[in-house]
Structure 1
């Protein structure tokens, strides 16, 4: 886990399948709201963000990525569970190597102690605000 008051550098992978994107589901107990965000995680010291996005998908859901293309950098200031957070996000567009990942309804995985779920969600439900996609600037990459 990162320390409070620290800026965290993370690498996220944007994976599309038609009008759906592959995201992990989160829940903020303080705001009592569900949210979705692209899969990925922290960049380790001495590792590039490109390497980090590949490693995170491998660790979390045992998936290999291909066609990994850098698409931009986002800065995200947010509050989660009542605490302020600050992230620099290196965003990559990518594809799964194995077709089976495109058939999944939901994929359970663990991140440290936490059980998490990854799902395909409809981009239009995110754009309409029905589903909360974080960070919101993410929607700019889904046009």
Structure 2
């Protein structure tokens, strides 16, 4: 298996960020975990373009890329299998300001449906919510 290049977008609303809620096995256990919206960078696609495509595909929302934050390299293990992601992180914003008023968003990825919610940053800093990728908390 080879490393996966992906990109994630951080959207702020007051003291909250928009995160997709997932329930599955993850590197620290089984249960709920949260991650920003984004996805795999396709060949020939810039990471900022990937974010725009992924937000539109998953949330039906147009975004603007505001600034580059960092690159995280995340090597993890789930059920004895090693995963390796190289992730470009950006701050982004909704082009339609009315979207900031929504409490949650349905996230559609193929046949899979999850929800994105505004999560209080304090719950992330306190460790009450599991945030991926590892190390992201240091840049919020």
Superposition TM-score, scaled by structure 2 size: 0.91
1:137 aligns with 2:139: no
Query: Contact 1:10/1:90 (CA < 8 Å) preserved in 2?
Result: yes
2:5 corresponding residue in structure 1: 9
**Secondary structure at 2:54's aligned position in 1?**
helix
1:18 aligns with 2:29: no
Q: Structure 2 vs 1, CA of residues 102 and 138 (structure 1 numbering), >3 Å: closer, same or farther?
A: same
CA RMSD of aligned residues (A): 1.5
Separation in 2 of the partners of 1:22 and 1:87?
21
Asked if the contact 1:24/1:116 (under 8 Å) is kept, the reply is: yes
Residue 40 (structure 2) pairs with residue 72 (structure 1) = no
Alignment of structure 1 residues 85-104 onto 2, 5 Å? 85-104=83-102
| 1:68 CA displacement | 2.5
For residue 82 of structure 1, report the CA deviation from its aligned partner. 5.6
Query: Secondary structure, in 3 states, of the residue corresponding to 2:122?
Result: helix
From 40, 52, 55, the counterpart of 1:54 = 52
* Residue 44 (str. 1) matches residue 42 (str. 2): yes
Change (3 A) 1:80 1:97: farther
Shift of 1:48: 0.5
Contact 1:28–1:81 (Cα < 8 Å) also in 2 = no
Structure 1 window deviating more from structure 2 (119-128 vs 67-76): it is 67-76
> Structure 2 vs 1, CA of residues 113 and 80 (structure 1 numbering), >3 Å: closer, same or farther?
farther
Shift of the alpha carbon at 1:88? 0.3
Contact 2:9 2:51 (C-alpha < 8 Å) held by counterparts: yes
Compute the displacement of 1:9 (Å): 0.3
The runs of 5 or more residues in structure 1 that have no matched partner are none
How many aligned positions are there? 138
